Amino acid sequence: MSIQYAHLLIPERADFVPLPEQVAAFLDGLVKLNSAPAEATFKVGKLSGKVRTGVNALTGEKLSIPRRDFASFGSVSDIPGQLVAMEDYDVVVSGEGPAKLPPFTLYSTTGSEQSEFKGTYSYEVRCCLRAEVVSTCETPPFGSQCPSEMRIGAFRNPSTGTPIEVPNAGCARFWIEFQFGKWLLPRIGDDLNLLEPSVLANATDSFGMGFAQGCLCR
């Protein structure tokens, strides 16, 4: 089974909902930092009313995931108009990596061996909003309903299986994902504070909010 790694930015406030203009400012900031996907395409996903099932790549747990219908749009400047009055969405910027300023160094994983990956790979940034607070960690399952007072996020090092707890990362209405090609992972130690500092600062400045870092493997 392959692993698709995503690195998460989770707001310190579980009920935080960004303005559409803040989402656009964050993604425009990535472009100005040379940290956005190259040859990018843009789309927005809205709930379709359908559900797909899957399996957590690390735990084997069965998942039930709401499906979204995606529509393409032209550029970052179109984002505010796309998100008017929306309470649930995925804004997706897809393209190719590495960026000139990558979020972090990626390693190709085969068994227990890791080596720095120097080729091209798929690279995607998602800004996700849900109508209610959901889990942004492993327990309860990612994306499921979650009490907003659950502030400690339970994660797992995908290379070793070692548990990692992160304050203020257990649940949220809004989060950001940096997703890469399959079997490409950052080198993870005892915590998940891995993101390039200027990329993290761009999120903090754009949203006026501190962020904790987590991870997700699909």
Distances (CA, A) of 75 to 39, 50, 95, 104, 151: 11, 28, 13, 25, 35
Return mean pLDDT, the chain: 92
The whole domain housing 205 covers: 5-217
Where is 148: in which H helix or E strand? none
Mean pLDDT across 171-175: 98
Statement: the pTM of the whole predicted model exceeds 0.85: yes
Place of tokens 């190719």: 96
Query: pLDDT digits over 32-73, tens only?
Result: 999 999 999 999 999 877 777 767 655 666 766 778 899 999
What pLDDT sits at residue 59?
Answer: 61
Whether residue 141 is preceded by a cis peptide bond, meaning omega within 30 degrees of 0, is no
Query: pLDDT digits over 138-157, tens only?
Result: 999 999 999 999 999 999 99
What pLDDT sits at residue 31?
Answer: 98
Pairing of strands 163-166, 153-156: antiparallel
Q: Are the CB atoms for 192 and 33 separated by under 8 Å?
A: no
Query: pLDDT digits over 88-98, tens only?
Result: 999 999 999 99
DSSP 130-147: EEEEEE-SSSSPTTSB--
Structural domains counted in the chain:
1
Give bridge partners of residue 178 from the DSSP assignment: 7, 125
For residue 12 the two structure tokens come to 């310190």
